[in-house]
Amino acid sequence: MDTQGNGGIVVVGSGVVGLTTAVVLAERGRRVRVWTREAAERTTSAVAGALWWPYHIEPKASARRWALRSLEVYRELAGRPEETGVRLVEGAMGEVDPADVEGWTAGRLPALRRAAAHEHPARNAVWARLPLIDMAVHLPWLRARLLRAGGTVEERTVSDLGAVDAPVVVNCAGLGARDLVGDTSVRPVRGQLVVVENPGVDTWLVSTAPDGELTYFFPQPGQLLLGGTSEDGVSSLEPDPAQAEAIVRRCAALRPEVAGARILAHRVGLRPARPAVRLERQALPGGRTVVHHYGHGGAGVTVAWGCAEEAAALAASS
């Protein structure tokens, strides 16, 4: 039963965090409206590589808890990959301490082991079977799940949370929170990737150089995503040809067959980074409430379900 009055709850933002939060609320019986400046297919989430891993997100302890809860959900969704876009795929994560990973995952990754030398060039690397999400399928599926639960989605720009006609507002504006609530600690971290025809790669790989330079490839249905970049404070959405060439070159050094793969597309997204995720309740004038829920950096997909459940609890207790 929705106890929030006729206005229900408005979730601002339709990236993976916003849609997942709206789904959780709607499936708990709340009247939910999503207000979004742009359709989910045009958000940063739509261009995410979307491998489950708590990448560049603080606070670490909370992020790991959210990630493990999300892992449970993604494993269930992986039973219907064509519908949900979620698959469990094996691959190698470099520059991580296997003992540390074993510690924080607490046995939740049964296939976890130290990567062999031929599987990853790094001295410290793990081999694991992790959720890999095809966002072109997953975001529309989330939206459809929300609609089935009675929620709605409207394309409308929000410039003032205080003017939203709902007793509870959940602010999932991501990078937009910088202007929406004046949070200058939110900053863009630019990511670029190259989409190529898959030459037969069926495992993923992530490697981080000492200078922070990223190299990764993620097999998705019918294509291979090559990455990447992590440019703090850079907000250009234009693909850089030189960066694209460097990305292909680095990936080809690890999998030579990538060098001749036909390029299908170039993608650029701006990760909504913040020193720590903002997940808190704040009073609005007139006895109304806003739940701030943004700043997930490059790990929005990874923590979406765990974080959404905590945000929904805050909204429900308002």
Binding-site members for D-dopa are 216, 271, 298
The CA-CA-CA angle for residues 76, 78, 81, to 5°, reads 140
For residue 240, the cross-strand partners are none
Q: What element of type H or E holds 139?
A: helix 135-148
Round to whole Å and give the CA distance between 212 and 61.
22
User: Any residues with CB less than 8 A from the CB of 161 and at least 6 apart, and which?
Assistant: 12, 169, 171, 180, 181, 284, 290
Cβ distance 192 to 244 under 8 Å?
yes
Asked if 26 and 149 touch (Cβ cutoff 8 Å), the reply is yes
Rounded Cα distance, 220 and 46, in Å: 14
**The residue to which tokens 């601002």 are assigned:** 12
Strand partners, 284: 288
Instruction: List the one residue out of 196, 249, 193, 251 whose CA is nearest residue 222.
Output: 196
Residue 99: which region, alpha, beta or left (left: phi > 0; alpha: psi -120 to 50)?
A: alpha
| Residues flagged as binding site for FAD | 44-45, 158, 297-302
Q: Please, which residues bridge with residue 131 across strands?
A: 88
* Cα separation values, 303 from 126, 132, 295, 297, Å: 20, 13, 12, 11
Among 189, 93, 75, 173, smallest CA distance to 133 is for 75
Known binding-site residue numbers: 44-45, 158, 216, 271, 297-302
